[in-house]
Amino acid sequence: MSRHPYDFDYLDYLESEAIHILREVAGQFERPALLFSGGKDSITLVHLALKAFRPGKFPFPLVHIDTGHNFPEVLQFRDALIDRIGERLIVRKVEDTIKQKNLEPPKGKLASRNFLQAYTLLDTIEEFEFDACIGGARRDEEKARAKERIFSVRNEFGEWDPRLQRPELWNIYNGKIHKGENVRVFPISNWTELDVWHYILRENIALPAIYYAHTRKCLVYEGQLVAVSPHIQIEPDDVIVEKTVRFRTVGDMNCTAAIESQARTTEEIIQEILQSKISERGATRIDDKFSEAAMEDRKKAGYF
């Protein structure tokens, strides 16, 4: 496969950059981990890790911070994926953190445990003494992320300080840290949502079924469609509809809104995104709308 320099496609460039970053993690850290949510971005990371390290094993386990509010399809997918690739999976549950720490479980109609994930994540980092956590965040998702480094150093409390970031030059990544600190690493920082979908198409990567159009009962909540599940409170005057929908991200069942869609294949999804032009977090993350600086706050507190 000899290539003329002009043939180097942007997806090849992004893939090569991500593999390079994953190998830097392997080379620089003693106890890295890959944070796996079961979403398309973390599944893409696993695919890239296979390209980076096979025929060897991954030099890190996959870690799933389980809110207990997952889509069952995503958990099935996760377990099947682990079986297929034969790598180690660590699961830590937000439920257990709530019990151990006597935290107030979130109340209310949608009762999101999203912000509690940060506690469980930080506990898990301490438990296994992880010095680097690989995540699937992308800079195009949100304004606060646009300024984050690929190697993002966090203090002992997992906090991110946007004013004290290390300069990141060329493709040289400085992962040196003190004990207790850790680094969040984002190999697909430079990918956009469409890049990920084009890559999934090109590489024929399998995803959980909820990404593709299917029929589902949904609660209509402030103009958004929320999957009916045991994790939300249904009240008598609620409007429940049955629609053909898909999900653009796989967060918790109660904080990820569905969009109406007929897209049953990856090609159709790409077409739909090109036409709809609604960016992914805006369309589906209910918890970002509360304040303009919502993500910045959660980031500083250690949420990715």
Partner 1 sequence: MDLLRFTTSGSVDDGKSTLIGRLLYDSESIFIDQLQALQRASKHRGSEQLDLALITDGLRAEREQGITIDVAYKYFSTAKRKFIIADTPGHIQYTRNMVTGASTANLAIILVDARQGVVEQTLRHTIIATMLQIPHLVLCINKMDLVQYSEDRFYEIVHAYQEAIKKLQVKDVYYIPISALHGDNVVYKSDRMPWYTGKPLLTYLEEVPIALDINQDIARFPVQYVIRPQEDAYHDYRGYAGKIISGAFHEGQAVSVWPSGWQSTIDRIEYAQQAIASARAPQSVVILLKDDLDISRGDMITPADQPPTLTQDVVATICWMDSTPLKTGDKLLLQHGPAVVRCVVKHIAYKININSLSQEDAGGSLQLNDVARVHIRTAKPIAIDPYAVNRANGSAILINETSFNTVGACLIEEA
When the beta carbons of 64 and 139 are compared against partner 1, the nearer one is: 139
Kindly state the smallest distance separating residue 152's Cβ from partner 1, in Å. 13
Rounded Cα gap, residues 136 and 151, in angstroms: 12
- From the CB of 214, what's the least distance to partner 1, in Å? 24
Residue from 14, 76, 15, 26 nearest 53 by CA: 26
Q: Six-digit token pair at 132? A: 């680097």
In the bound state with partner 1, the residue whose beta carbon lies nearer, of 169 and 239, is 169
Contact 210, 37 (CB under 8 A): no
CB of 101 to partner 1, least distance (A): 29
| Closest separation in Å from C-beta 108 to partner 1 | 24
Q: Is 269 exposed, middle or buried (0-12, 13-18, 19+ CB in 10 A)?
A: buried
Q: How far is the CB of 226 from partner 1 (least distance, A)?
A: 18
Binding residues vs partner 1 (CB under 8 A): 1-3, 5-6, 8-10, 12-17, 19-20, 23-24, 26-27, 50-57, 59, 139-140, 143-144, 146-147, 162-163, 165-172, 174, 176-178, 189-190, 192, 194-195, 276-279, 282-283, 292-293, 296
Closest CB to partner 1 among 167 and 236? 167
Nearer to partner 1, 122 or 150 (CB): 150
Residue 167 is encoded by which pair of tokens? 């300069």
Nearer to partner 1, 148 or 252 (CB): 148
**CA nearest 156: which of 184, 126, 186, 185?**
126
CB of 234 to partner 1, least distance (A): 27
Nearer to partner 1, 233 or 276 (CB): 276
